[in-house]
Amino acid sequence: MSIVEQQPTDAVRSEPPARSEHGRLVVRNLAKRFRSVEAVRDISFTAEPGQVTGFLGPNGAGKTTTLRAVLGLITPTSGTATVNGVPYRELVQPTRVVGAVLDSNGFHRSRKARTHLRVYTAAMGLPDRRADEVLELVGLASVANRKAGGFSLGMRQRLALATALLGDPQVLILDEPGSGLDPEGLAWLRGFLRRYAATGRTVLVSSHQLAEISQTVDRVVIVSKGRQVFEGSMDELAEGRRGPADLERRFLELTESEYLPEATADPPTSPVLPVPTTQEGDR
Give the tens place of pLDDT for each residue, 161-184: 999 999 999 999 999 888 778 888
Side-chain-side CA neighbours of 204 within 13 Å: the count stands at 30
Q: Where are the beta strands (DSSP E) in the chain?
A: 25-34, 37-47, 52-56, 78-83, 98-101, 171-175, 202-207, 219-224, 227-233
Is residue 179 situated within a structural domain? yes
Residue 215 lies in a domain: yes
Q: Is residue 279 in some structural domain?
A: no
Q: Residues 25, 171: contact at Cβ < 8 Å? A: yes
Asked whether residue 280 carries a pLDDT value surpassing 70, the answer given is no
Note whether residue 6 is domain-resident.
no
Neighbours of 22 (CB within 10 A): 15
Residue 256: its pLDDT value, please?
81
- As beta bridge partners, residue 86 has 83
What tens digit of pLDDT does each residue of 48-78 get? 999 999 999 998 899 999 999 999 999 999 9
Average pLDDT, rounded, for the chain: 85
Total domains in the fold of the chain: 1
3-class DSSP assignment, residue 59: coil
Rounded to 5 degrees, φ, ψ at 112 are: -70, 155
The more confidently predicted of residues 200 and 183 is 200
What is the CATH number for 196? Answer: 3.40.50.300
Let me know if residue 225 belongs to a domain.
yes
Q: How many CB atoms lie within 10 A of CB 12?
A: 6
Instruction: Give 250's pLDDT tier (boundaries 50, 70, 90).
Output: confident
Question: 35 phi and psi, to 5 degrees?
Answer: 55, -115
* 217 in Cβ contact with 203 (< 8 Å): no
- Write out the residue range of the structural domain in which residue 235 sits: 19-258
Q: Residue 7: helix, strand or coil by DSSP? A: coil
Give the 3-state secondary structure of residue 148: helix
DSSP 3-state of 190: helix
* In a domain? residue 73: yes
Residues 153, 173 contacting (CB under 8 angstroms): no
> What amino acid occupies position 71?
L
Contact 101, 163 (CB under 8 A): yes
CA–CA distance, 130 with 147 (Å, rounded to integer): 19
With 0.75 as the threshold, say if the pTM is over it. Answer: yes
131 located within any domain: yes
* Structural domain includes residue 254: yes
Helix, coil or strand: residue 260:
coil
Instruction: Specify the 3-state DSSP secondary structure of 27.
Output: strand
DSSP string covering 159-171: HHHHHHHTT--SE
Coil, helix or strand for 220?
A: strand
